[in-house]
Amino acid sequence: MVPADRLYHLPVGVGAVEAVALAHPASTAYLALFTHGRLRAGESVAVVGAGGNVGSAAVVMAVRAGARVIAVASGRDVSYVRSLGADHVVDYRSDDVAGQIRAVAPRGVDVYVDTSGRNDLDTAVDLLAGRGRIVVMAGLRTRPVLPVGPLYLMDRSVHGFAISHADTAQLADAARGINGLLLSGRLRPRATEVLPLSAAAEAHRRLGEGKVHGKLVLRVRG
């Protein structure tokens, strides 16, 4: 059973499969950017892992909010991420990624979100503007070095975030934002494959083997 306060109306015209594929990554992106990152219009944000499910949703949302978006993604995803509206896209395999970010944001970025889980805080803190915020949401086993001096001397901060701790008001806020983007057509899953519920074991196997690009949705038929 799902509590009533955790259920949200789906806008008319939005497909259920599309909404299911986006619900978790888009909610994660929304809460990371706005609830914990406190991103506002006119600010700059660096999104690392921008070609993934959470990262691409974060790019769309940040652009829509009027932020300047610097995205870091793999070379194969550069064109896709650029099509989402990112102002600048950096290939994470290129030389001096941090230098490329500094070149387009010389005063630093206001929000730094790493959806890839690398959590290079030494680099991230150095890329922040004064009072800039880092949102940590992945990389459970990483043990990064935290440069304390630059962190507190510039009023910078690091915020940990797990969507499982979000309360009902935060989730409802995220749902309203996501529904608006779904209805406008701005937010779409990149790749969705629908399988019958009977293929759940196969879906788990493919996930475990890293053979899924996009989202797998299991359909339950009445």
Closest alpha carbon to 137 in 41, 55, 51: 55
Per the listing, tokens 């992106």 go with 29
Tokens of 202: 């196969």
What's the pLDDT score for residue 2? 83
Q: 167 CB contacts (<8 Å, ≥6 apart)?
A: none
**Between 221 and 67, whose confidence is greater?**
67
pLDDT digit string (tens) for 145-196? 999 999 999 999 999 999 999 999 999 999 999 999 999 989 998 888 999 9
- CATH class for the region spanning 15-168+175-184: alpha beta
pLDDT digit string (tens) for 34-66? 999 999 999 999 999 999 999 999 999 999 999
Neighbours of 17 (CB within 10 A): 15
Single pTM value for the model: 0.93
Rounded to the nearest 10 degrees, how much is the dihedral formed by the CA atoms of 34, 24, 187, 101? 50
Mean pLDDT of 107-121: 96
How do the domains of the chain map onto residue ranges?
A: 15-168+175-184, 191-222
- 222 pLDDT above the threshold of 60: no
